Structure 1
Amino acid sequence: MPLNDGPEWNPINPPEHSPSHNIPFPNTSFPGTGYILSQTASPMTSSGNPAVQRHPCYYIENPILIFRVENMLFKVAIKQFANISPVFKDLMDLGGSGSHEGGEGLSDDNPIVTHDSLRSWELFVPWVERENDPKMKPDTCGDWLELLAFAHKYQVKDCVNECIASLNALNLSPAHRLSLAMQMDIAQWVGAAIWDLLTMPQRNMTLEDYRRLSIEILFNVHQGRDKILIWNSTLLCNVFPVQHGPDCIERTRCERSWKAAYTDIMRAKFHPDKPMGGAEILLILEHSYITGMGQFCFSRTIEELKGKNSVLRDETIAEEEKLAIAQLCGFDAIDLTPFL
């Protein structure tokens, strides 16, 4: 006996639906999600209903661009790149994302071709997407230099600053730092790099260092070194006279003691591995606790040296030469304070 008085269900010939069965389901909502599933067409503005709009937060527009780097294709979210690089922003604004099907960068068959190295993209894309993950940072000097060149080309300031900070802790030669500073306008490297070139032993420079700098820069560096060397030789060979105190009873012996102490200290300026600058020599002279005969005379002589700026003259020469070389390199109004 049927459960109700309606017609029996025939799976072979189901009953025809009445017109009411063709009415689409009403809009169905999913509580708590904010999403609405609709089987009806969106209402037109002309019908009096509000126009359909894109949600300001949850409708994400992030066009994709495809780049060819060497023989490799990269598909990237261009908006993410454009947020940190004016160069990539121009690509997006100029229609690089493509307003028509098959536009440049929209397919594997028509990518945007770059002349960058493959390694630079393999370093930069993870840098953009890493979210401060230290594992995504370069771990070699070569990779940091590769990333620095890429970030400078595409004007990614945060990436440039991070590369500079990391390279500061690595052992780049002064000539290498100065060369990079000129190529990428890194003003903060100029002063220290030139100072090191003027004061370091010449034998520490490699053939590659000479290739990195122009003949004009190298000529000025060697001229500055010669001036410093001549002055240091003058200090070593011409011992300043002792400023005897009124109670000095044996002047000849006092002068001999001063000459021995002074010459021994000044030899440090010609150390083959780490020659001392004038400021360091002056500190040694000031803290040389000489007791007994000549103590007062020595103190007066050191004060005389400080007053005449004789011991520090090598650093004055280095500062003058450094400024001239910096201007030759294209840097004028920058902080040229050396790292001491």
Structure 2
Amino acid sequence: MMASTSTLPEPAAEEVSPQRHPQYYISDGNTVLRVENTIFKVHRSMLVKDKSAFDAMFSLESFTHDTTQSDNSVVPQEGDSDENPIVLLDKADEFSALMWSLYSLPAEIAVSMGMQANDTQLIHLARIAHKYQFRSTEAWALAALTTFHSNSTGTPNVQNLIEITELAALCEYKALIGAVVIKWKRLLAEGRAVASAIDVAERLNLRQLLGHAYYSMMLKGREVWDSDPQLQRHQRIRLLSGHYNLLKICEELPDFPPRLNHDSTCIRKGRCRSAFAALWKTILTTKDGNAGIAGQVTRIQSVDLVKKVMLAESIVKALAEGSIPAIDLSEHGEIHVKCMPNVVQATQDKVKEVHENLVHWFSDVV
């Protein structure tokens, strides 16, 4: 008979002793805090700056704790020693960034306002400053991040961009939201990180990004939608809906020119409007996916509304500037010469309208 065997429990992993922070364990500090496995010793006066949440926390602590026992000996208080620290449920990197902002010299802070800034450190700082209500520190960090990301031209790291976008939404900082949306749109223009952009835009309700993200994925085609593991069922339904809606709009587009506001000197507005409508239709009439006039030919997908209206804008501007030959529209009328700037403005307004309304054409119902 075989002897029975039993599986012995694995020994528990040995707990690593907390380590003092190499910079922010300050010898004459009077408050000890443990964050993850790092011990900080700092000055309480620094933590209560800016009327932060620490101010309220320490005030409540002094009100509710009696520091002496019946024999007149002092009761140990949290934060008095390494053995009895105040424990914060934060990340050590984030708390270290907060200490950096409180203890750094002006010259060190100034570096963070330029292109040599450490954006990861600023992200940590803004997030923890928001949590503990260091209002001026939060505003400064968000402004520094906005400056950095508004001026940087390099290809952004997608995970880093996700973190910044989440931070901007958390803090409701519109300037930073605008800067990161521009970076997302650069990625989308390159066909990169499209599913990630859809996920971020939906989670954070960034409508100015959501429409562009869905539009970029739609142009990739259904084979890509069906094979992308990041996309969920409701997102594929939205893509189908958007494809249907935009195909219908593109088919009708040549027959619906933008509204034209005539110049005050235009006395034949009807003929001027008819000529503009004919020009618009001529530009947008497609055959086998090709669109364009006067040598301005490009291959455009049948559902690519954005490219169609941008083509119209570029041709109208070229006509207004005289850089391409004029189009004979005499059988329809004539665009008044002083109405041409208004024609350009009308097409530009149409491009803007299309960009702003992309999200509306992607709904959950086909």
- TM-score for the superposition, normalised by structure 1: 0.53
> How far does residue 111 in structure 1 lie from its aligned partner after superposition?
0.9
Paired letter, 2:133:
Q
Paired letter, 1:73:
I
Closer, same or farther: CA 283–162 of 1 in aligned 2, 3 Å:
farther
Question: Is the partner of 1:204 in helix, strand or coil?
Answer: coil
> What fraction of aligned residue pairs are identical, expressed as a percent?
16
Output one character per residue of 1:229-276: Cα deviation in whole Å (capped at 9) or x when no partner: 669956986797xx989xxxxx9xxx89xx624854997xx7999x95
Aligned to 2:98: 124
> How far does residue 114 in structure 1 lie from its aligned partner after superposition?
0.6
Question: Which residues of 2 match residues 1-340 of structure 1 at below 5 A?
Answer: 64-95=30-61, 100=67, 101=74, 102-134=76-108, 137=112, 139-168=117-146, 169-170=148-149, 171=156, 177-190=164-177, 200-201=188-189, 203-214=191-202, 217=205, 221=211, 225=215, 226=242, 233=250, 260-261=293-294, 263-264=296-297, 284=318, 286-290=320-324, 300=337, 302-303=340-341, 305-306=343-344, 309-320=346-357
Question: Is the partner of 2:102 in helix, strand or coil?
Answer: helix
Output one character per residue of 1:53-85: Cα deviation in whole Å (capped at 9) or x when no partner: xxxxxxxxx982211111221111112221224
**Which whole-Å CA distance do the structure 1 matches of 2:40 and 2:349 have between them?**
57
Question: Is the partner of 2:83 in helix, strand or coil?
Answer: coil
Question: Is the partner of 1:68 in helix, strand or coil?
Answer: strand
Say if 2:310 and 2:351, in contact at 8 Å, map to a contact too: no
Matched pairs, number: 253
> How far does residue 143 in structure 1 lie from its aligned partner after superposition?
2.2
Question: Is the partner of 2:144 in helix, strand or coil?
Answer: helix
Greater share of residues in helix: 2
**Which whole-Å CA distance do the structure 1 matches of 2:175 and 2:77 have between them?**
42
CA RMSD of aligned residues (A): 5.3
**Which whole-Å CA distance do the structure 2 matches of 1:207 and 1:316 have between them?**
24
Which runs of 5 or more structure 2 residues have no equivalent in the other structure? 1-27, 68-73, 150-155, 216-241, 258-269, 273-277, 284-291
Say if 1:239 and 1:263, in contact at 8 Å, map to a contact too: no
**Which whole-Å CA distance do the structure 1 matches of 2:135 and 2:315 have between them?**
41
Which runs of 5 or more structure 1 residues have no equivalent in the other structure? 1-61, 246-250, 326-340
Paired letter, 2:293:
A
**Which whole-Å CA distance do the structure 1 matches of 2:329 and 2:44 have between them?**
74
Output one character per residue of 1:83-127: Cα deviation in whole Å (capped at 9) or x when no partner: 224211112212369762411112222111011111112222121
Flag the structure with larger Rg. 1
> How far does residue 314 in structure 1 lie from its aligned partner after superposition?
3.3
Paired letter, 2:193:
M
Closer, same or farther: CA 197–140 of 1 in aligned 2, 3 Å:
closer
Say if 1:96 and 1:104, in contact at 8 Å, map to a contact too: no
**Which whole-Å CA distance do the structure 2 matches of 1:198 and 1:232 have between them?**
23
Say if 1:277 and 1:314, in contact at 8 Å, map to a contact too: no
Closer, same or farther: CA 291–282 of 1 in aligned 2, 3 Å:
closer
